[in-house]
Amino acid sequence: MITDIAASTSRGLKTTFIGQKVIYYPALPSTMDAARQAVRQGAADGTVIIAGEQTAGKGRLKRAWLSPPGSIALSIVLYPGLSVLPYLVMIASLAAVYAIEKAADVKAQIKWPNDILVDGKKAGGILIENEVRGDKVDFSIIGIGINVDLDVTAHPEISSIATSLKSQRKDLGVRIIRSLLIEFERLYIKLPDGKTIFEDWRDRLVTLGKKVKATSGRQVTEGTAESVDQSGALYIRGADGKLTKVVAGDVTLKGE
């Protein structure tokens, strides 16, 4: 069974390196830590760690991430160059959106910087951990979580903001993962030219043109989300006309 899931993910997968090696665990604290462990053991570029369930899933900004059985929880090991780092989040969120649309046949969007939305609610998220020394990247771990069969009503802490793809099809999870890995590699090998990736990511952002509240550490910025730049930063125009650059953090769309 265990090898079945790893094998059915990578069998005949039309990629050259992403997902050619898949390691599946029925349950893990977090695929992020298992991926670090795999790196220490010499994991090849593109190795994918998948968990059937995470008991201590990690979200952005040190939040917890729920991933009971039925959810997609995976991490991809990469050894990229430094100039590639700003694009990883764009590639991961675009790959997740394309995979959900292809495999689940629903429309998906991105909320800055990398929340995956379906019907305006969060259906997935991306967590990236980079290990950088000087101007050299030792490794990057791209964590992707997608709610597939998650009963959000059973989790009051997320029930108003989250959603799940909830499918009748038993193999939807594997189909999304396979599509995700193909899309990820297709976008990744376009680099170092990230221009089209940036433009595609920008065009999928539900955030632009909306009234938003951005929280970055203790700094709160309110206004209209005006634009993003190639580093991924968001520019918000306040009511006083001042333009503020937000590099990282969380955004709430007004009315949410």
SS3 175: helix
Q: Is 164 in the site for ligand BTN (CB under 6 A)?
A: no
Mark the segment that binds ligand BTN (CB under 6 A) among 40-48, 61-69, 97-105, 248-256. Answer: 61-69
SS3 73: strand
**Is 80 in contact with 190 (CB distance < 8 Å)?**
no
Write out the two tokens for 182. 């193909």
Ramachandran angles phi, psi of 65, nearest 5°: -125, 120
SS3 184: helix
Contacts with ligand BTN by CB under 6 A: the residue count is 21
Q: Is 66 in the site for ligand BTN (CB under 6 A)?
A: no
Ramachandran angles phi, psi of 68, nearest 5°: -75, 175
Least Cβ distance, residue 116 to ligand BTN (angstroms): 8
Binding residue (CB under 6 A) for ligand BTN from 125, 173, 194, 223: 125
Q: Is 10 in the site for ligand BTN (CB under 6 A)?
A: no
SS3 57: coil
Q: Is 155 in the site for ligand BTN (CB under 6 A)?
A: no
Q: Is 145 in the site for ligand BTN (CB under 6 A)?
A: yes
Binding residues for ligand BTN (CB under 6 A): 30-32, 54, 57-60, 63, 65, 67, 73-75, 115, 125-127, 143-145
